[in-house]
Structure 1
Amino acid sequence: MTTIQNPIIPGMAPDPSIIRVEDTYYIATSTFHWNPAIQLFQSKDLTNWELIDYVLKKDEVNLRGTNTPAGIWAPHLSYDAVTKKYWLAYSHMINMAGREFNSDSYAMWAYDITGPWSEPIFLTAIGFDPAIFHDEEDKHYLAILEWETREGYQAPGHIVIAEVDLENGGIIGEWHRINHGFTTRGCAEAPQIYKRKDYYYLLIAAGGTGYGHGVEIGRSKDVFGPYEPHPSGEPILTSSPRHLFSLGDPDAGHFEMYNPNSMMQKAGHGSLVETPTGEWYISHLMSRPLEGTLLNPLGRETSIQKMRWTEEDWIELADGSNLAKMEVEGPEDSLPLKENAYDVRDDFDGNYSLSFMTPYRNQEDKWVNTTERPGYLRIHGENSFFSQINPAIMATRATSFSYEVQTSLSFKPDHYSETAGIGLYYDSNNWLYLHLTYSEEQSATILTVLQAKLGERIEYGNHRLVVNNDEIELKINYDQGIATLMYRQSDEQWKRFVDDVDVTYLSDEGVNGEPGEIGGFTALFNFIGSVDAHQRDSYADFDYYYVTNV
Structure 2
Amino acid sequence: MTDVIFKVSSVHSTPVITDGKPGTEGNGYGFEGGRVLKLNGAYHLFTTEMSGLPIWTRTKLAYWRSKDSVHWERVSTLMESSGNFDGTDTHACLWSPMPTYDAINERWVLTYVCYRSKPNTRESWYRNYDGRIAMAVSQVKGPEGMAGPYEETGFLMEPGADSASWEGLMGVNSFYPYLTDSGWYAWYGSSIEVNGLAKAPELSGPWHRVSLREPASRHTENPIVSRLEDGRFVAFFDGCGHHQKMGYMVSSDGITWSEPILLEANDHPNRWWGLTRTPLGLVSEGNGKYALPFTAYNRNFYDIPGIWSAESDSVFDGYFASVGWMELELEKG
Q: CA deviation at 1:3?
A: 8.9
Q: CA deviation at 1:200?
A: 2.2
Q: Does the CA-based 8 Å contact 1:273-1:280 persist in structure 2?
A: yes
Determine helix, strand or coil for the equivalent of 2:147.
coil
Q: CA deviation at 1:173?
A: 6.2
Q: Does the CA-based 8 Å contact 1:238-1:267 persist in structure 2?
A: no
When residues 229 and 168 of structure 1 are mapped into structure 2, their CA distance, relative to the original with a 3 A threshold, is: closer
When residues 240 and 145 of structure 1 are mapped into structure 2, their CA distance, relative to the original with a 3 A threshold, is: farther
For 1:276 and 1:199, locate their aligned partners in 2 and report how far apart those are by CA, in whole Å.
15
Aligned to 2:79: 56
Calculate the TM-score normalised by the size of structure 1.
0.43
Query: How do 1:52-201 and structure 2 match up within 5 A?
Result: 52-56=75-79, 62-65=82-85, 71-80=93-102, 83-95=105-117, 97=120, 98-99=124-125, 101-110=129-138, 111=141, 112-125=145-158, 126-136=171-181, 139-147=183-191, 156-164=192-200, 166=202, 168-172=204-208, 174-175=210-211, 177-180=214-217, 187-196=219-228, 197-201=230-234
Aligned to 2:40: 22
Deviations 1:72-109 (A, max 9, x none): 22222333456543232211121374236311111223
Aligned to 2:289: 279
Determine helix, strand or coil for the equivalent of 1:47.
coil
When residues 92 and 158 of structure 1 are mapped into structure 2, their CA distance, relative to the original with a 3 A threshold, is: same
Larger Rg: 1
Q: Does the CA-based 8 Å contact 2:184-2:203 persist in structure 1?
A: no
Query: How do 1:180-259 and structure 2 match up within 5 A?
Result: 180=217, 187-196=219-228, 197-208=230-241, 213-230=244-261, 235-239=262-266
Q: CA deviation at 1:170?
A: 3.8
Deviations 1:194-218 (A, max 9, x none): 2222422222211339xx5221112
For 2:207 and 2:42, locate their aligned partners in 1 and report how far apart those are by CA, in whole Å.
31
Determine helix, strand or coil for the equivalent of 1:132.
strand
Aligned to 1:530: none
For 1:165 and 1:42, locate their aligned partners in 2 and report how far apart those are by CA, in whole Å.
32
Determine helix, strand or coil for the equivalent of 1:46.
coil
For 1:17 and 1:269, locate their aligned partners in 2 and report how far apart those are by CA, in whole Å.
10
Q: Does the CA-based 8 Å contact 2:14-2:272 persist in structure 1?
A: no
Query: How do 1:413-452 and structure 2 match up within 5 A?
Result: none
When residues 114 and 278 of structure 1 are mapped into structure 2, their CA distance, relative to the original with a 3 A threshold, is: same
Determine helix, strand or coil for the equivalent of 1:118.
strand
For 1:266 and 1:157, locate their aligned partners in 2 and report how far apart those are by CA, in whole Å.
17
Determine helix, strand or coil for the equivalent of 2:15.
coil
> Number of aligned pairs?
265
Q: CA deviation at 1:49?
A: 0.8
When residues 226 and 115 of structure 1 are mapped into structure 2, their CA distance, relative to the original with a 3 A threshold, is: closer
When residues 262 and 204 of structure 1 are mapped into structure 2, their CA distance, relative to the original with a 3 A threshold, is: closer
For 2:325 and 2:239, locate their aligned partners in 1 and report how far apart those are by CA, in whole Å.
17
Calculate the TM-score normalised by the size of structure 2.
0.68
Deviations 1:295-319 (A, max 9, x none): 662421110100111124xxxxxxx
Q: Does the CA-based 8 Å contact 1:75-1:89 persist in structure 2?
A: yes
Q: Which amino acid aligns with 1:115?
A: G
Deviations 1:357-415 (A, max 9, x none): xxxxxxxxxxxxxxxxxxxxxxxxxxxxxxxxxxxxxxxxxxxxxxxxxxxxxxxxxxx
For 1:63 and 1:237, locate their aligned partners in 2 and report how far apart those are by CA, in whole Å.
36
Aligned to 1:304: 325
Q: Does the CA-based 8 Å contact 2:196-2:210 persist in structure 1?
A: no
Q: Which amino acid aligns with 1:287?
A: Y
Q: Which amino acid aligns with 1:174?
A: V
Q: CA deviation at 1:135?
A: 3.2
For 1:102 and 1:221, locate their aligned partners in 2 and report how far apart those are by CA, in whole Å.
33
5+ residue gaps, structure 2: 1-9, 20-29, 50-55, 159-170, 305-315
Aligned to 1:473: none
Q: CA deviation at 1:187?
A: 3.5
- Compute the RMSD of aligned alpha carbons: 3.4
Q: Which amino acid aligns with 1:284?
A: F
* Percent identity over paired residues: 14
When residues 262 and 221 of structure 1 are mapped into structure 2, their CA distance, relative to the original with a 3 A threshold, is: closer
